Amino acid sequence: MADKIKMAVAALLVVAGLAVFYYFSESPAIIRVVAVLAGLVVGFVVFWRTEPGKQFFLYAQESVAETKKVVWPTRKETLQTTGIVFAFVVVMALFLWLVDASLLWVVKKLMGQGD
């Protein structure tokens, strides 16, 4: 129950930061931006202190570790794959254009509008 209250407080802090931004619409922009950032930071800290927040940050750390294990393609592999994709798109565009033109010709012939 305490975690739910903390999460609600965190959400209210973020909303309060946004409310201050709009409430002080006549104030300098830097004050308004600082209010929003303060609401976000304080809300973030309160969320971090909850059990779901700790689980989320642990999950995020594990995700970063897994991303570092990925073997990314080299520049050459990326360019080759991109070239193949472009070539396939051109071939498919030509094929679909031919099919469309052929069907148009057939429909015109069937309707008696052909040459």
pTM of the model: 0.52
**Whether 103 and 83 share a structural domain:** yes
Domain coverage including residue 20: 2-69
Question: What H or E segment, with its residue span, contains residue 58?
Answer: helix 51-69
Q: At residue 115, does pLDDT exceed 80?
A: no
Give the percent of the chain with pLDDT over 90: 54
Tokens at residue 94, please? 């030509």
Q: Is 74 helix (H, G, I), strand (E, B) or coil?
A: coil
Cα separation, 40 vs 33, in Å, equals 11
pLDDT digits (tens, 9 = 90+) for 52-83: 889 989 999 999 999 999 999 999 999 999 99
Tokens 């931004």: give the residue: 21
Please classify residue 65 by burial: count the beta carbons closer than 10 Å to its beta carbon, then call 0-12 exposed, 13-18 middle and 19+ buried.
exposed
Question: Based on the domain organization, do 23 and 76 belong to the same domain?
Answer: no
Domain count of the fold of the chain: 2
Task: Give the C-alpha separation, 43 to 61, whole Å.
Answer: 20
